[in-house]
Structure formats: C-alpha cells, structure tokens
Chain A
Amino acid sequence: MGDAIEYCAPEGLEGVVRALAERPGAGVLLAGGTGLVPALKRGLLRAERLVSVRALRSHRDAARTPDGGLSVGAFATLREVASSTAVRAVSPALAEAAQQTASPALRNRATLGGNVCLDARCWYYDQSERWRASRAPCLKAGGERCYANQREKRCVALFSADTPAALIACGARARLRGPGGERTLPLESLYSGDGLAPLAKQSDEIVTEIELPASAPRSGSAYEKWRERDSIEFPVVGAAAWLRLGAGDEVAEARIALTGVHSGPLRLGELESSLASRPVPDAGDRDLHERVGRSLGRLYLAEAVPHKRHIAGVCVAAALSRAAAHAVRSAP
C-alpha cells in the first residue's frame, strides 16, 4: 500500500461527500475497512485519498420510522444490525443475513453500507499482486480474458454479499448522497449485474441509509446461507424469502432474492408469482428445489453449475418455510 495516499475524516456527511468529490475517481470511502483494506493490500484499488466516516455521529443507528418501517444507517456495523431489536422485528431475514456474515471480529467493524456495496468476487481476481502477475490481467483487472470461464467474453465474478438478498426480498430502498444531491431508489436498482462494475451509481455517490417498509400483517422473512464452513466464508448460495400469508395460511405474496449465483443479486420473479394462492411449500419439497434451479437462468460459471442450482433450491425452500413460520408468529 502506497506512501502517497492521504487520509481524512470529515465531521459531517457534507464534508465526506465534498472530500470524495474533490478527487474524482481517486477518493475512496472508508467505513469499516474490512473490504477496502484487503483490496488496497492486493493492489485492486488505486486510491489517492481515503475518506473516513469515523467522525460521523449520524447514519449509524437502526430505528423504526413513524409508519412502522425501518431506517438503518449505512455505517451501522453488522454486529449492530444483527442484534438490533428493531431490525429483528421488521426484517428477521436482514438480522439473520448480518449475523451469518464473516466472523464476530469482522462484524464488529464491517458496515451494512459496505456489505451492500461489496464488489463482485472471483478466485482469479481477489488475489495478491504477485499471484496475479503470473498471467495477463483478467477482464476485471483491465485485461481481455476471463480465467474463471475462458469460454465467456464477460466477467463472471460473483456478487456474494449476504445482506442485499435479504434487503431486496424485504422491499428495501437505498438512500444515496452525492455532490448532485440526494436520491432514493429500490435497492434492486443499485445493481448493474455486470461483474466489472456491479454498482449502478457514481463513484462519488455514497449509500447513506437503507429503508425498509413496515411489516405487513401475517408476513415474515428468513435468510438461508450455504457455505463451505460455518464461519468467515462468503456464501456458495444465499437465499432470502419474504412472504405474506392469506386468510387460509396460503401464500398471498412472496419475494425471493439470491446471492452467490450471478454478478448481482437475483430476484426470482416468475417463481414468486407461481407460489401465490398455493400452500406454503415444505423445506423438503423436491419439485420446488428443481423449479428454483431452473429459474436461475443461465449461469456463467465454468463448473459446479448443477451443484449451485441444487443448493439454491434447497436454500429457497428452507427460507420460504421459515419465513412462513415467522409470519404465523407475527400474526395478531
């Protein structure tokens, strides 16, 4: 990491936005640092100025809104998100996703905004400079080839953050602030689906707040994560489900979002519609497992595609089943 990099920690959000805008393309936001510092060490990020949020007192809390929804500051740590009673009440899926991210020490630093803005990851990209120097750069590093799937002309890096799937399933919106002002958008729209640049925002725009709508009566959510070991790891597949039950305990409405399968979070819109007016599926429903696997569309990975489809099916069915249990418990 270079000697020339500057560091500043402005006291207000306006100061942070200004400090980033003063160095277009060269200023980088520093929140928890758990994603940024490895990227700097690996030479994946060329920054000239680190703009820290450590002096900010705002945008760190999770609080209920007057309409019964939830507003979570982007700089709340994942530990705070996972343990927040407000988060657990409005979005059990978000609390579960935050709790299952990384390790306790990482969750003490990592922020919700950082997780939402996590770069897409790839075995051939997330390596040291020395490791990567053994071959020509990959597409994501500015080269011309994708090593993860040499038949593809596109970057196939996987979006692997846990909390965005949960947030999208629960209908979240993101509030962004930049030199041009503030805007909010459905969180789903923040993602481009392009492994090279997975975030559809300007580099000097920062995510400041995540907003969730009030829980509908008889609704619930859950997040299921499958990973190679039960700590630290990114998901092989993460699945979040939100559903609302009808008067006869059938599915009235459902939303499903996945992580770890494409270069952005993936909504399963058609599958969601097919669940409406039907009984809540069982976690072991093999027909559903197969339908989920088919509904992922084309996966651009070179290997393990059937494996990923199967795990996605198992995770979605389990998430739906637990979301329904939450919905029943939340019934007035």
Chain B
Amino acid sequence: MKQLIELNVNGQTRDVVARATDTLLDVLRDGLGLTGAKRGCDLGACGACTVLADGRPVNACLVLAFEAVGSEIVTIEGLKGAGGLHPVQQAFVEAGAVQCGFCTPGQVLAVAALLAECPDPDEARIREALSGNVCRCTGYVKVLDAVRNAVRGAKGSA
C-alpha cells in the first residue's frame, strides 16, 4: 500500500510517497535526500537516526512515516542558529567533540532538545539526555565538555 503523504520537515511541507511500513528514516534519507540522520542499528538501540518530532528526540528508524504526519520534524539539516550554526553545533566544533561524526547529528539534536526544555541542566540531566546516543569512537568526554560550554555560553549571552 503506497500513499502520498505530507510531512512537515524543517519548517517546509514536503510530499512523499511511502508504504505503510516505511519509516521516517527511510523517507528522510531516500525520499527527501536528508542524509544527516544516520542508519545505524536500525532498531532504536544506537540513536544515530535521532530527529526531533514536535521538539522531542525520537528514533526515526522506529517511527513509521505515516505516523509522522502532523508532527513538526526537525533534522540536523534544519537546525540553525542566528549566525549559521546552532549554538550546540558551534560548541561541538569548538570542543572538538566530533570524531568519525556518525553519531554527531543525533547527539546534537538530543542536546538541542534538552537545552530548549531546560537551559541550565545539571550533569545528571545532561548525561541522561545523551544516554540513548551511542558513540562507537567512545568520545564522550569532549561531547560532555561541549554541552557544558553550550550551557555556559547560553548563560553568558542571557
């Protein structure tokens, strides 16, 4: 069963043809060419496919495309700051928090969602927010540094 569906992705309405069993990740990557969300485990166990649905992180590999109709989807391509990069992206660059980069879009979106909800999270909350995003380069130290820097930066500019 194929059907034309309308998705709201990165603030734009996009028409895609999807089967009932196509996931949001399938249509983002293969239908819309948005390859920032990565296909890792494809089972919800790595977080590489994380996107935001109505502001909250979800595993795009487990959300059926039909189920995403009506939600505001934000992928890493749609995350923007005033001067270009989103403050979380800028903090990742400055802290050297990127190794191979495969997990980075998911981590950045998970942190962006956290800071949108809680601008001054404690260490436990930061770790919790990142706990579904696995980095197989094992580079968590600089990722945590980046998040702390992003929090400090947001406080400084407040």
Contact = CB atoms under 8 A, between A and B. Distances in A.
B64 A33 contact: yes
Given A33-B67, A103-B47, A109 B62 contact: yes
A106 B45 CA distance: 9
Contacts of A105: 44, 47, 50, 57-59, 110, 132
Contacts of B20: 5-7, 50
A109 B45 CA distance: 14
Given A37-B62, A38-B44, A108-B58, A103 B131 contact: yes
A329 interface: no
A228 interface: no
* Chain A at the B interface: SS class: loop
A115 interface: no
Contacts of B133: 103
B42 A41 contact: yes
Contact of A40 (B21, B45, B59, B131): B21
Given A104-B110, A108-B57, A7 B131 contact: no
Interface string B121-158: 00000001101111000000000000000000000000
A232 B131 contact: yes
B34 interface: no
Interface in B43-71: 43-45, 47, 50, 53, 56-59, 61-64, 66-67
A100 to B, nearest CB: 11
Contact of A232 (B1, B45, B110, B129): B45
A5 B21 contact: yes
Interface in A13-70: 30, 33-34, 37-38, 40-41, 50, 52, 54
Contacts of A1: 19, 21
B1 A5 contact: yes
B23 interface: yes
B145 to A, nearest CB: 20
B21 A104 contact: no
Residue among B20, B47, B56 with most chain A CB within 10 A: B20
Given A7-B66, A33-B64, A106-B59, A232 B132 contact: yes
B58 A109 contact: yes
Contact of B43 (A3, A9, A41): A41
Nearest to A52: B67
Nearest to A53: B67
A332 interface: no
B96 to A, nearest CB: 24
B6 to A, nearest CB: 15
A4 B21 CA distance: 9
A108 to B, nearest CB: 5
Given A34-B44, A105-B132, A230-B131, 13 more contacts: A3-B19, A6-B1, A7-B20, A37-B62, A38-B44, A41-B43, A79-B56, A104-B129, A105-B44, A106-B59, A106-B62, A109-B62, A232-B131
Interface of A: 1-7, 9, 30, 33-34, 37-38, 40-41, 50, 52, 54, 79, 102-106, 108-109, 230-232
